[in-house]
Structure 1
Amino acid sequence: MWARVAVAGVTGVLLVGGCAADRELADRDSIRQFEVSAWDPSDAHPCDLVSDPTARELRILDQEGSGSAQSDANCFYTNRVDASVDVRVETHEERDAVAGVIEAAFSGREGQTYVHVEGYPGVTTQFPDSCNLSVAVSDDHSVYVQVSADEACERAVEVARVVVAHASAG
């Protein structure tokens, strides 16, 4: 049996099936409750999660540029005109990644919206001309995408979808 849950923002409607539908979206606290496979994004450097050719297709990297490792946990992309993107992998030890995303998404704070990225729970925080997106991909890991550009939250979700697709393919 499928339950429909309306989701505000860029994603439309999220379909949730099986046992996960028995628990309200705002009450979920484990990646198992989203019927997706947990994965550890720290197995690869963030610059490997979004290849340079893909970053060019997304218009977040100029033709001569490449993703720039800023640390072991993040990669920076810029098209030098109107977009910059930071992709970061976060490991959560003190607080569960899913619970943190869900709490933020349903806190009622202005500018925060629940989104799902290929089934994974996320929250966008929108600012003028920028957006932060955190997507829980396991109980211990999240992918963080920070975008400065027009339609920043839509672009952040688009980048996160590429990251999730990369993980699914590998």
Structure 2
Amino acid sequence: MLQQKAVIKNMDHLGLIAGMIDELKIAETIDDEIPSSSKSKNLSYGEATKAMILNGLGYVNKQLYLTPLFFKDKPLKRLFGRDVDFSWFNDDALGRTLDKLFEYGVSELYEKIASRALKILNLTPSTIHLDSTSFHLDGVKVNQISPPLGHLNSPPLGLLI
């Protein structure tokens, strides 16, 4: 009787992240906006970006050239929806992708991705803040301490009188 050996690959939380990337069509949006001109590439810019997101959210703080090692024991067909090899996520492919994203304009691309995500999730924002680099908080601070008025009794450190 022929026995098959089970292969176990650890997906952790990456399946949830990959699922949301697919549902929000993030990689697809990137590929629509920045099509690949080379037929010899193994990965699209969207797939490479998805790989960098997964790597970044995999609680790994490693150099770009170590990315293939991160994906070596992952179920890549499950995460990417097709057969891919971990060696394709090399620093050359990821570096080219980062260059293309920069050339296109990351703010403009973020706007397209966010707009598409709003449509997919059927969300209609009541207000829009044009600066996507800052956070806004509404509300009242509890136990806010007011600074005392007047002059300091001692000079600030580092100043000689």
Quick check: TM above 0.5?
no
* TM-score, reference length from structure 2: 0.24
Q: Which structure has more helix as a fraction of its residues?
A: 2
Q: Which structure has more strand as a fraction of its residues?
A: 1
Q: State which structure, 1 or 2, has the greater radius of gyration over its C-alpha atoms.
A: 2
